[in-house]
Amino acid sequence: MNGEDRAKLIRTLETWHARDKHKKIAAAIEKIDPGEWDYGIVSCYARALNNLSRYEEALAVLLPLRQEGAEDGKWHFRVGYALYFLGREAEAAEYFRAAIDHGDNDESTVSFLNASLGEAEDRRQGKDVYHPELYTEDQLDRLEDHIVRYFGSFKNVFHELASPDIHVDIAVVEPTKKRNYYTLVTMGMGARVMDVPPGLEHSERAELLICLPADWNLAEDALSDEKWYWPLRWLKLLARLPAGENTWLGWGHTVPAGQPLAENTALSGVLLLNPGAFGADAGACEIAEGAINFYQVIPLYDEEMEFKINNSTENLLDFFDDQMLACVDINRRNLCKGWKDFSLKKFNLAE
């Protein structure tokens, strides 16, 4: 392999990494004669193995490069990452510290260092040690295939830097002629089984999506402004809510924000519904362990949430048309403003 081919390969592997195609990366490298592997190719391979939860294999290819990686913060991070998920937190902490010393001092590295130190001490004291719950390789393959099939292909993924409980990445499906809006889909919430009521075991895994106008600014520098970032914040917040509150989320559930979602809108909470615009089959991804259900996040006004709580989700939806449910409109009219003065006869409800 000449230098030009090697550079082209690395660019391709980096593109696949940005799209979370870790299995594809590993398979492509495994087809190359190991004699052709250099430090860059091995680094890409180890990163893919870590992302596929193949931690022992990642260590097996990383550790022989100890000399080449001595001054590379990313090499130290990848060794630490594999050790951390193998339950070797004290060793992992040393590598995360070395990664920082060699320039890899971003938020995720610092978070993993702190987690490793804390969990190593917990393990020393005989306490339970908890690691983020992740999809298996097969589950993740099925999830990604489902997203591409029903919501659209995605080139961009917002990767989560630190994962204290579950790892929530967000796939970005760009606008198309058929659906002229962004579709943001979580990948990771369903790795954890929710504590659902008896009889609802089919609802114990979930992922979320939200649809945003085609002119929504998702550039990295724009997302420091809450008026653009709040949909991502709420996807992550909702994904973690079941574990944090020992509860579950499903169709018809509402979650209030207690204040406007951003300074440029009065929308102040969310409702979860089936992703109707994408077809009935889009609502569930079958895996060996059951199904992962998909719920679309619909922002609501205070009065709409109040109406739903006092009446029902079905009655609230009578006020919405398909376009209102398809894509977020931060300036749409409040459908239940002054709802207590409405005539409720059409709903056969008592005032």
**Cα(75)–Cα(58) distance, rounded to whole angstroms?**
11
Judge whether residue 299 has pLDDT over 90: yes
Spell out the residues 6+ positions from residue 245 whose beta carbon is closer than 8 angstroms to its own.
Answer: none
Assign 129 a pLDDT band (cuts: 50, 70, 90).
confident
Written as one letter, the residue type at 74 is K
- Residue 128's pLDDT is 76
Judge whether residue 342 has pLDDT over 70: no
> Is there a contact between 46 and 74 (Cβ–Cβ < 8 Å)?
no
Tell me: the pLDDT tens digits for 50-106? Answer: 988 899 999 999 999 999 999 999 999 999 999 998 989 999 999 999 999 999 988
> Is there a contact between 225 and 218 (Cβ–Cβ < 8 Å)?
no
Average pLDDT over residues 129-142: 84
* Radius of gyration, CA atoms only, the chain: 23
Among residues 137, 136, 123, 47, which one has the least CA distance to residue 87?
Answer: 123
Buried b / exposed e along 239-271 (16+ C-beta atoms within 10 A): bbbbbeeeebbbebbbbebeebbbeebebbbbb
Assign 334 a pLDDT band (cuts: 50, 70, 90).
very high
Q: CA triplet 100, 106, 111: central angle to 5 degrees?
A: 85
**Cα(67)–Cα(50) distance, rounded to whole angstroms?**
20
Judge whether residue 348 has pLDDT over 90: no
Average pLDDT over residues 173-202: 95
**Cα(221)–Cα(265) distance, rounded to whole angstroms?**
21
Within the chain, how many helices (H) and strands (E) appear? 12, 8
Q: What share of the chain is helix, strand, coil (3-state, %, to 5)?
A: 50, 15, 35
- What is the set of domains in the chain, with CATH numbers? 3-124 (1.25.40.10), 137-341 (no CATH)
- Residue 349's pLDDT is 47
Question: How much of the chain, in percent, has pLDDT values that exceed 70?
Answer: 96
Assign 161 a pLDDT band (cuts: 50, 70, 90).
low
Assign 136 a pLDDT band (cuts: 50, 70, 90).
confident
pTM: 0.75
- Residue 345's pLDDT is 46
Judge whether residue 317 has pLDDT over 80: yes
Query: How distant is the alpha carbon of residue 311 from its chain centre?
Result: 32
- Residue 165's pLDDT is 74
Judge whether residue 350 has pLDDT over 60: no
Q: Mean pLDDT across the chain, nearest whole number?
A: 91
Average pLDDT over residues 120-127: 88
Assign 163 a pLDDT band (cuts: 50, 70, 90).
low
Judge whether residue 346 has pLDDT over 70: no
Query: How distant is the alpha carbon of residue 150 from its chain centre?
Result: 17
- Residue 162's pLDDT is 65
DSSP state of 40: H
- Residue 107's pLDDT is 82
Judge whether residue 159 has pLDDT over 90: no
For β-strands 290-300 and 284-287, DSSP reports them as antiparallel
